[in-house]
Amino acid sequence: MDDRTLEAFLTGSKKREKVLVSACLLGIACRYDGKSKKCAEVERLERFFDFVPVCPEVLGGLKTPRDPAEIREGKVMTRKGRDVTQNYKDGAYWALAACKVKGIRLAILKENSPSCGVHDIHDGLFSGKTIEGKGIAAQTLEKNHIAMIDEEEAKTLLAILEERHA
């Protein structure tokens, strides 16, 4: 999110904004490995926003834990070779539906995820390397003009908000 977009978001309505958040960042054990990626700074942002936690993979019908998946040639494939693209598309649809119903304009998403990656995703080869790209839910949200930041950018947002409210 560039500085002008961030400033417009911060100076918009005086009511508490609802923000879509990757559930794993809030400590919910919904990742493929059955764990979370809890981020204390993201959690602290709840002081300023009303959170709507989602896990697009779970919304798309996948269980926890599940076989890891990565985007390869436009499809989401598990390590075992199962095509789960439709599950990811379904989860993206429901995440977008939550944004529309709740009037959400911002999402804080887990970077590198095949669903939620904002800037980077895994390379599709299960090599552990990342490449530039967006997850399936992030692509859908972007097409529908939902601003997105990852957990590192959320830390910057928290610092700005805490400084303004000190």
* Rounded Cα–Cα distance for residues 115 and 141 (Å): 11
8 Å CB contact between 134 and 117 = yes
User: Could you say which residues of the chain have pLDDT below 70?
Assistant: 1-14
The pLDDT of residue 115 is: 98
The pLDDT, as a whole number, for residue 15 is: 75
- Rounded CA-CA distance 151/112 in Å is 11
Q: pTM to 2 decimals?
A: 0.92
